[in-house]
Structure 1
């Protein structure tokens, strides 16, 4: 019996709360709406808070309250986990209120929302690049901010993700034995990220891609391609003389020399 009474009271409480909220939506008492919107926000009921703030924004446009309302709307989206929407609202806030005391925070939060939206490395990395640009903009604009170390950590994390994405893309062509495309993609990855932790792997894949392309080429293209592979070999061993790929690289140079030696003999 007590359980039934408790459920009934809970239902009545929820219904009453909904009823109060519905009355607020229909009310013309804007100061009360503003007060209740902040209460909803503080209790983390971001949907109700955002709805009320959105209703109030055009009413208070042109007044000092519009700035505060816009600021709350941005954080309602952020609190709801809608980081795309939050980023949009924070950027819009900066455009509308460039001299606001909340400008620095809004610039940081717009960058942070990009960071939170950054997907796994195998997916499109547009948000990752946007995050790096936005975080760097914040660092440039507020070089003395206490958030700078955190921003640098986020940028490092995003850069690592781009490096890994580049590595995966290049490796994809290599694994599928699409050697002409692999060569281009591997060269681009090495050029774009010269300090990559995958540099040894990338350079070896480039060497092997050139070697396999030469081996599988028609006769009139083999000599030129073996010479390119030989150049790639020397670049690789110069940089990684004790590479984990040393034995495989040596086997390839033996094959190159064996093929090219007949031209040296003929000449």
Structure 2
């Protein structure tokens, strides 16, 4: 019985393969397109994409041109090849800016890149591209039912970029004075992040690293810069407590303040 089932499965498989190979070689493009849509609906995206790659050129100027290009983009999306999908979605909405699938193409162009966005420790070119595509979507379709989802994704991607800056901030602080003044780089990185991502959930930690690094620079300062650096620590302390009067780093920044403030001797 098992042998009978096995041979039936082999027969069905060979028949299916034979069908697909026959369609690949066919010059009847209407039949080919019918099968491309059939494979797409069956979620056989690789087969659909192979057929559609040929058909989108042949079908240009016909009633099926628009749909075939969109289906090609969706086929790559279904294969989780989000970069290629985004390129085809981009081609679609550029070619058919008022097309039937223009809104979906703009959304999925950015959404696919969002799904493909790498770990914060890696290059974020894909993340920036996803943000760009989703921002364009929001500009074109601010009242869309997907607008809220797109906005939430934008916040998430921006937080990922903020976190990447936080990783750099932490690294500079941990390097300290190794091969240069990394505390200064820590401050600059954190300050730039606060300007770029002012509403980030990492805001408090950025502010903490600024005062922490300025404290370290003051402790190791040469005499002629000492008083100015003490005042910097005091200024950053007030910046911090004004925003976070009950912040999670309050005890530490209080120590930095007490140390610096008690050593300021020049009065203006």
The two structures have a TM-score, normalised by structure 1, of 0.89
Residue in 2 that maps onto 1:192: 196
| Whole-angstrom CA distance in 1 between matches of 2:67 and 2:33 | 10
| Whole-angstrom CA distance in 2 between matches of 1:143 and 1:247 | 44
Matched, 1:233 2:237: yes
Question: Aligned to 1:259, what secondary structure does the other structure show?
Answer: coil
Distance 1:215 1:52, change over 3 A: same
Residue in 1 that maps onto 2:8: 9
CA contact (8 A) 2:158 2:197 kept: no
Point out the structure with max Rg over C-alpha. Answer: 1
Distance 1:136 1:175, change over 3 A: same
Matched, 1:126 2:125: yes
Residue in 2 that maps onto 1:87: 86
19-28 vs 118-127, which moves further: 118-127
CA contact (8 A) 1:214 1:222 kept: yes
Question: Aligned to 2:64, what secondary structure does the other structure show?
Answer: helix
After superposition, the C-alpha distances for 1:95-130 in whole angstroms (9 at most, x for unaligned) are: 222232111221111121122122223322232232
35-44 vs 186-195, which moves further: 186-195
Matched, 1:143 2:147: no
Number of residues of Structure 1 aligned to a counterpart in Structure 2: 263
Distance 1:143 1:190, change over 3 A: closer
Deviation at 1:209, TM superposition (A): 0.4
Question: Which blocks of at least 5 consecutive residues in structure 2 are unaligned?
Answer: 177-181
Matched, 1:172 2:171: yes
Distance 1:7 1:248, change over 3 A: same
After superposition, the C-alpha distances for 1:34-75 in whole angstroms (9 at most, x for unaligned) are: 111111111111111111122222222222222221111111
RMSD after superposition:
2.1
CA contact (8 A) 1:170 1:189 kept: no
CA contact (8 A) 1:30 1:56 kept: yes
Q: How does 1:255-266 map to 2 (within 5 A)?
A: 255-261=259-265
Distance 1:104 1:210, change over 3 A: same
CA contact (8 A) 2:40 2:48 kept: yes
Deviation at 1:214, TM superposition (A): 1.6
CA contact (8 A) 1:107 1:138 kept: yes
10-19 vs 76-85, which moves further: 10-19
Question: Aligned to 2:99, what secondary structure does the other structure show?
Answer: coil
Distance 1:146 1:236, change over 3 A: closer
Matched, 1:36 2:40: no
Deviation at 1:258, TM superposition (A): 4.2
Point out 4+ residue stretches in structure 1 off by more than 4 angstroms.
Answer: none
Match of 1:182 among 173, 186, 189: 186
Match of 2:221 among 213, 217, 222: 217
Residue in 2 that maps onto 1:99: 98
CA contact (8 A) 2:191 2:210 kept: yes
Distance 1:4 1:166, change over 3 A: same
Residue in 1 that maps onto 2:52: 53
| Whole-angstrom CA distance in 2 between matches of 1:237 and 1:19 | 73
Deviation at 1:149, TM superposition (A): 1.9
